[in-house]
Amino acid sequence: MNTKKKIIVLGAGISGLTAAYLLKKEGFSVTVLEKKENAGGSIETIIENGFLFDRGPSSSLETYPVIKTIIEDLDLSEELIYADKKGNKRYILKNNELIPLPMSPRAFLSSKLFSAKAKLRLLTEPFIKRANKEESIAEFVKRRIGKEFLDYAISPFVSGVYAGDPSKLSIKYAFPKLHKLEREYGSLILGTIRTIRKRKKSAEKSKQSAKMFSFKNGMETLPNKIALFLDNNLITSTEVQSILKKDNSYNIVFYKDGEQKTLFADSVVSTIPAYALSNIIANTDKDFAKILNDVFYPSVLVLYIGYKKSDVHRSLDGFGFLIPQKEEKSFLGAIWNSVLFPYRTDNDNVCFTLFIGGATKERISGTTTGAPIKKAISEFQQIMNIKNVPVYTSYKLWKKAIPQYNIGYEKVDKAIKQFESNNPGFFLGGNYRRGIALGDCLHSAEIIRDEVKKYFTL
Ligand SMILES: Cc1cc2nc3c(=O)[nH]c(=O)nc-3n(C[C@H](O)[C@H](O)[C@H](O)COP(=O)(O)OP(=O)(O)OC[C@H]3O[C@@H](n4cnc5c(N)ncnc54)[C@H](O)[C@@H]3O)c2cc1C
């Protein structure tokens, strides 16, 4: 293999950084072009007034072996921290009360979260037939396990992961493992039992059993360390404008320091958001550009609040809570950061992250943040029995936060594959393909590394 081949990676979020890291380790000549001043994309950490605020992801699950391998290779093991065991307990808000999500069959039978009728309905699940059309998460869950589970378990979980709308997200693409259980085993219950047995033999972990981790100095530790490794191979404050195909190579056109420049590439790896790639290829592949531009990214406002510990009059013994849409609150849920991880603040204070917005709420713009923040704080204080005002608040508005794998995503999936086949050596990654969780992004970068290697070997 000729490892002198030049590869340009678009975007220095975790997907682009990981792809570049893995390709550089293979000996390729890699250059990453990033629009913003810093690497990390959605991963941002600020430390201010004694509070550590992760403005994007605040933790990740150790779902794929590549995660641990990269952390060890980068000498980050000492920085790694695992979530406290208390984090296994998660609450759901029902009638203004925080009710623990049952984690064992026994807890499930005695839980107030679901009615006796809903619990009995579950017994019929193995006998329900497979669907014969593409379904939304809401349709799938209602059909298989009933509406109560949709309302008080799955919908809040969907808003916790995607800030998404279960009546629009595609079960096949947003939760492929759940969809596969029905396809392969004809039942979620029987399929879960069988896959647990199977998984024991492989290194892959399910999202329920994978360990949750962060870093002492926040999630930014990982992209910052990869950026250090990439050194001169990473060029920031550089917005890619267009890509010109020439035989089986590419010229990447971008602006740097007010000047238009061009770089040659034998291969291109794009990890920028779908709408950003859409702009870049708008003149060369109009149809694909339209499909990419239609991928919906709702806005999410991440609100971080710190209180004196003595002002919180309820036990802090869990991950936090999620709010079903039926409860009609102004925010989606809250993470109890200082319960999960040490070093988030000092011993006298506690801190929380609230999520406002998402696909089921109106888009939040830069000028409309004041009212929703005030309302969310007031509702949060009531739920948590907090009598005093916060000692610290900060927020970040992500105008286009998380891509939604909505019904019809199959068209996007097919178009991506078609584009790659029309443009040999051009690979697409990023969180609008193969999953949005950090673990999925790292795994996807590993797949791209293998595809690039194969491309140059053939
Ligand atoms: C608020 C929030 C909370 C989240 N919480 C979690 C969590 O707790 N756990 C979890 O696992 N996941 C979480 N996620 C999801 C996860 O963080 C993202 O899916 C992941 O970080 C996306 O990485 P990426 O590299 O694919 O994309 P991005 O991080 O979006 O990176 C894309 C990069 O491309 C750059 N770019 C765009 N246009 C151009 C251009 N023309 N030229 C050059 N560069 C360009 C951008 O500036 C950006 O840096 C969260 C996401 C958000 C937004």
| Cα–Cα dist 433/426, whole Å | 15
> Residue 33 CA: which ligand 1 atom is closest?
43
Look at residue 342 in the predicted model and tell me its pLDDT: 87
Distance from the alpha carbon of residue 392 to the mean position of ligand 1, in angstroms: 26
* Whether residue 250 has pLDDT greater than 60: yes
Q: What's the burial of 417, exposed, middle or buried (CB within 10 Å: 0-12/13-18/19+)?
A: exposed
Secondary structure of 196-219 in HEC code, one letter for each residue: HHHHCCCCCCCCCCCCEEEECCCC
1-40 exposure pattern, b = at least 16 Cβ within 10 A, e = fewer: eeeebbbbbbbbbbbbbbbbbbbbeeebebbbbbbeeebb
pLDDT tier for residue 71 given thresholds of 50, 70 and 90: very high
Which residue's CA lies nearest to atom 21 of ligand 1? 42
Kindly list the domain boundaries of the chain, sorted by start residue: 6-39+220-295+404-457, 114-199, 298-398
Look at residue 1 in the predicted model and tell me its pLDDT: 59
Q: What's the burial of 402, exposed, middle or buried (CB within 10 Å: 0-12/13-18/19+)?
A: buried
* Cβ proximity of 37 and 236 under 8 Å: yes
Beta strands per DSSP E along 154-198:
none
* Whether residue 305 has pLDDT greater than 80: yes
- pLDDT tens for 291-303 read 999 999 999 999 9
> Residue 55 CA: which ligand 1 atom is closest?
1
- pLDDT tens for 386-405 read 999 999 999 999 999 999 99
Of 136-140, 218-222, 334-338, 454-458, the range with the lowest mean pLDDT is 454-458
Distance from the alpha carbon of residue 42 to the mean position of ligand 1, in angstroms: 4
User: What integer is the mean pLDDT of 259-276?
Assistant: 97
If you count them, how many residues does the chain have?
A: 458
Distance from the alpha carbon of residue 420 to the mean position of ligand 1, in angstroms: 22
Of 45-59, 186-200, 409-423, the range with the lowest mean pLDDT is 186-200
| Cα–Cα dist 11/300, whole Å | 21
What's the pTM value of the predicted model, to 2 decimals? 0.95
Of 10-19, 52-61, 356-365, the range with the lowest mean pLDDT is 356-365
* Cβ proximity of 115 and 148 under 8 Å: yes
Distance from the alpha carbon of residue 372 to the mean position of ligand 1, in angstroms: 24
What is the topology classification, in CATH, of domain 298-398?
A: Polyamine Oxidase; Chain A, domain 2 (3.90.660)
What is the enclosing helix (H) or strand (E) of 251? strand 249-256
| Cα–Cα dist 280/268, whole Å | 13
Look at residue 198 in the predicted model and tell me its pLDDT: 72
> Residue 239 CA: which ligand 1 atom is closest?
42
pLDDT tier for residue 366 given thresholds of 50, 70 and 90: confident
What is the topology classification, in CATH, of domain 6-39+220-295+404-457?
A: FAD/NAD(P)-binding domain (3.50.50)
Distance from the alpha carbon of residue 184 to the mean position of ligand 1, in angstroms: 32
> Residue 11 CA: which ligand 1 atom is closest?
34
Distance from the alpha carbon of residue 353 to the mean position of ligand 1, in angstroms: 18
Look at residue 369 in the predicted model and tell me its pLDDT: 85
Q: Which among 8, 34, 42 is the best mutation to test ligand 1's pocket, defined by most ligand atoms within 8 Å of the CB?
A: 42
* Cβ proximity of 350 and 59 under 8 Å: no
Distance from the alpha carbon of residue 37 to the mean position of ligand 1, in angstroms: 15
Closest Cα partner for 49 from 306, 238, 269? 306
pLDDT tier for residue 367 given thresholds of 50, 70 and 90: confident
Q: Which residues line ligand 1 (CB under 6 A)?
A: 10-16, 33-36, 41-43, 56-60, 239-240, 271-273, 276, 300, 302, 398, 401-402, 430-431, 436-438, 441
Task: Answer yes or no: CATH 2.30.110.10 is held by domain 114-199.
Answer: no
* Cβ proximity of 160 and 325 under 8 Å: no
Q: Percent of the chain, pLDDT > 70?
A: 97
* Cβ proximity of 306 and 392 under 8 Å: yes
Beta bridge partners of 10: 33, 270
Structure tokens given for 294 = 């239609």
* DSSP-derived 3-state class of residue 133: coil
Look at residue 206 in the predicted model and tell me its pLDDT: 62
* Whether residue 458 has pLDDT greater than 90: no
Look at residue 47 in the predicted model and tell me its pLDDT: 97
Beta strands per DSSP E along 372-430:
392-398, 426-428
Look at residue 3 in the predicted model and tell me its pLDDT: 64
Helices 188-199 + 176-185 axis angle, to 10? 100
Positive or negative: CA dihedral 45, 47, 48, 50: positive
* Whether residue 323 has pLDDT greater than 60: yes
| Cα–Cα dist 258/251, whole Å | 19
Q: Which among 10, 162, 272, 427 is the best mutation to test ligand 1's pocket, defined by most ligand atoms within 8 Å of the CB?
A: 272
* Whether residue 228 has pLDDT greater than 90: yes
Look at residue 194 in the predicted model and tell me its pLDDT: 85
* Whether residue 202 has pLDDT greater than 80: no
* Whether residue 85 has pLDDT greater than 90: yes
Structure tokens given for 52 = 């550590």
> Residue 432 CA: which ligand 1 atom is closest?
26
Which residue's CA lies nearest to atom 52 of ligand 1? 56
